[in-house]
Structure 1
């Protein structure tokens, strides 16, 4: 698959820098076992479960089952990011307070518009490779509308942690990043092409970066 996409043709397995072998699967499996076992022994069972589920969703559910079969691939694949948030939160408090739960929801909702924006920008690449990303299946214009709807949902969810334990610093950064993401998504609806798609792709990264910065800095300053 990587050899059929311009974006991924320079990856090590395509160029021959690494040679495909069953040994890689054993190595990946061993690292997963060590990660899960280490989390269980050094932290707690909740961290271990979320670590395993995150790896399973990304490596099996998304990559093996859905990536080349369904336009919902990245929707369910977004759960991998959610489990990463829950693993981190569980390391601090296995009961997982409301704010981290909302952040997990944000990661789940954020992943599709982030990657669908990239898929619009690289529409021909995904189409040539036979990957059924949403823009390939329903067209760029309709996909842009779905992206905008998801963006609005992401921004709404991203404000909730400010009312569930975090404070005004988080709210300010989440609002700023959310506004930036909405502007980018609206522009993508107006002109659904490569340039607007890449702008929105970068806006999604800015939004998530500001949000996570707020989640880290807010409790450090405000307690």
Structure 2
């Protein structure tokens, strides 16, 4: 098959960084963490350390495959947006050669096969579905067709939680399903806040993100309403699964901060209020994941 070609340019280390940048490892790391949290909150078989490592790496590699495919498919649109125009396929720093598709496919097949061999078929299926929904359902089927594209795209994180839970028990329990629901509900307000901040760029790229279609003001109100629904869902484990005080502190603290920032966004829709809401979504999710893990361990 050969090595996928790189355009002529800087030295080996800089080229390695370009290749690594294709795989969206920051997003992949977050998705990997959600899988480990899904494992932590699920009673079931005790995994060996090597099995936990396989779970983490399989989710990370599957996410990396989907992230690289997203950049491969979106290279032309990426050139039209300030936040993405520096990506390697968009700039031509890495040649967009079909051989890269083989690399992505091999990563995904390897990740799914490793999960099936080391864990079980259910965990492997969820690993695959997470990558499939982001790479194919979101990127190819929905992104340019509907302003609700990111709602379905949010299933990628949900499937990671279920992959982790299925590693302990092929039939995930209530708390794992509720955490998957939280990940599903988290993605829209998280991404729509960013889309409000970057609406002119999405317009220029011809991508029908929600604020492009309905305007910033209405989109901001939808972001706030979505956050209310998210925070309500994040509290359900307190009543349905017996989650304890540590979980309550994380859910209420992180959720309250996200609500405050999206309320401010709804009152004054602008980039100046959208970016704090976006960063608040990261704080909310981080607080919830840490709290869920500590609560399960303690």
Q: Please state which band the TM-score falls in when normalised by the shorter chain.
A: over 0.9
Q: Distance in 2 between matches of 1:161 and 1:44?
A: 26
What are the residue-to-residue correspondences of 1:210-221 with 2, within 5 Å?
210-221=287-298
Q: Distance in 2 between matches of 1:93 and 1:174?
A: 25
C-alpha offsets along residues 70-118 of structure 1, whole Å, 9 cap, x if unaligned? 1011011111110011101111221211111101000101100100000
Shifted more, 14-23 versus 184-193: the winner is 14-23
After superposing on structure 2, the runs of 4+ consecutive aligned residues of structure 1 that deviate more than 2 Å are: none
Which residue number corresponds to residue 50 of structure 1?
126
TM-score (norm 1): 0.97
Indicate if the aligned counterparts of 1:114 and 1:201 stay in contact, CA closer than 8 A. Answer: yes
| CA apart distance, 1:165 | 4.2
Matched, 1:177 2:242: no
2:142 is the counterpart of 1:66? yes
1:27 maps to 2:98: no
Q: Which residue of 2 aligns with 1:101?
A: 177
Q: Number of residue pairs matched?
A: 221
TM-score (norm 2): 0.73
SS at match of 1:8: coil
Q: CA deviation at 1:160?
A: 1.3
Q: Secondary structure, in 3 states, of the residue corresponding to 1:69? A: coil
- Please, which runs of 5 or more residues in structure 2 have no aligned partner? 1-76
Q: Is the 8 A contact 1:47 1:88 kept in 2?
A: yes
Q: CA RMSD in A?
A: 0.9
SS of structure 2 residue aligned to 1:4? coil
How far off its partner does 1:17 sit?
Answer: 2.2
Structure 1 stretches lacking a partner, 5+ long: none
Write the mapping of 1:1-223 to structure 2, written as runs, cut at 5 A.
1-163=77-239, 164-221=241-298
Does structure 2 conserve the Cα–Cα contact (< 8 Å) formed by 1:99 and 1:165?
A: no
Structure with greater helix percent = 1
Contact 1:148-1:186 at 8 Å conserved across structures: yes
